[in-house]
Amino acid sequence: MAGFSGRAEKKTALLTGASSGIGKAAALALTEAGYRVIGTSRAAGTGDVRDGIRLIPCDVTSDGSVRAAVSLAHAELGHIDLLVNNAGFGIAGAAEESSIDLVRALYDTNVLGVVRVTNAVLPIMRAQGSGRILNIGSGLGFIPAPFNAHYSGTKHALEGYSESLDHEVRAFGVRVAVIEPATTRTSFESSTVPSDAPLKAYDVSRERYLVAYGRAMAAADTAESVAETIVRAARDKKPLLRYPSGKAARQIAFARRFLPRSLFDMILRSQFGLA
Ligand SMILES: NC(=O)c1ccc[n+]([C@@H]2O[C@H](COP(=O)([O-])OP(=O)(O)OC[C@H]3O[C@@H](n4cnc5c(N)ncnc54)[C@H](OP(=O)(O)O)[C@@H]3O)[C@@H](O)[C@H]2O)c1
């Protein structure tokens, strides 16, 4: 097991899904910024250190696994100053093409996973009288693009949950924010689960969507750039509620806010090749 030195002085962070992509980059960036970090992975053993990151086992869909992970992290770190709820995955397909079981599994990880880990960490932060929670949302948490209905639903849910929670826990010295990355080059694409009830009716528009997705991937941000946003949100004296990460996310957040709805709708449909 990795030992930590400088226990009293350093801020501490717990990150879910730190085995790859944004979570891994954020774990490394937070360590570099002076945090003592523990990350989680479903595949971790109890004594793992991988690429310099202390990893403990946690499946965010299991109440028991989350309780055990938070208790182990708290015991090792002594306090938890920062929680990054990052674990998540996507479904590829039209809304109608996914079974209820698949959609339930998505919400269980992307939404209830965040609720489970947050509920396990909040008593610790309330007792400390301080803490910060960063939920990894998405540009799709404010722009519901086609062929992403369920994923987009989970990320919209995180937006509402985070804003409500921030109002409730501020009195305890705890603040909550959402990080909103645009398309980012990680293992996300390979861990995206294909819809389990494909329909021929969507073949043409799905193909067009895939072309648009390919374009977005070609211009995708790096996990390291999202990690920089996470470090900034962790350290901001007066945290914002939302942190769009990268140029594309900031541009679409601006367009969503200020363009007339009909114009926004037209631009979005043309981007995805929809008539
Ligand atoms: N990549 C993008 O384009 C993009 C854009 C916007 C937002 N995001 C969000 O960013 C977050 C990180 O995604 P990523 O792009 O870095 O993808 P990734 O490389 O696939 O990483 C996903 C992480 O989530 C963990 N995970 C998945 N299911 C889990 C579960 N049930 N319990 C615990 N951990 C679980 C995985 O860990 P193990 O498999 O080791 O358990 C892995 O470390 C996600 O919330 C995603 O929605 C991604």
pLDDT at 7 over 90: no
Whichever domain contains 197, its CATH number is: 3.40.50.720
CA 225 to chain centre: 14
In one letter, which amino acid is 128?
A: Q
Give the largest Cα separation in the chain, rounded.
60
Does residue 51 belong to any structural domain of this protein? yes
Q: Which residue range forms the structural domain that includes residue 181?
A: 12-206+221-259
Does residue 265 belong to any structural domain of this protein? no
Does residue 213 belong to any structural domain of this protein? no
Look up 151 and say whether it is catalytic: yes
What's the number of domains the chain is made of? 1
**DSSP code per residue over 10-56:** S-EEEESS-SSHHHHHHHHHHHHTT-EEEEEETT--TTEEETTEEEE
Rounded mean pLDDT, 214-235: 96
Does residue 215 belong to any structural domain of this protein? no
pTM of the model: 0.96
In one letter, which amino acid is 40?
A: T
The model's confidence at residue 275, banded by pLDDT at 50, 70 and 90, is: confident
CA 88 to ligand 1 center in whole angstroms: 4
Does residue 274 belong to any structural domain of this protein? no
| The two structure tokens encoding residue 218 | 């070609």
**CA 153/CA 160 separation, integer angstroms:** 11
**CA 15/CA 178 separation, integer angstroms:** 14
Q: Residue 60: CB within 6 Å of ligand 1?
A: yes
For 169-199, how does the pLDDT look when each residue is reduced to its tens digit (9 = 90+)? 999 999 999 999 999 999 999 999 999 999 9
Q: For ligand 1, atom 36, which residue shows the shortest CA distance?
A: 17
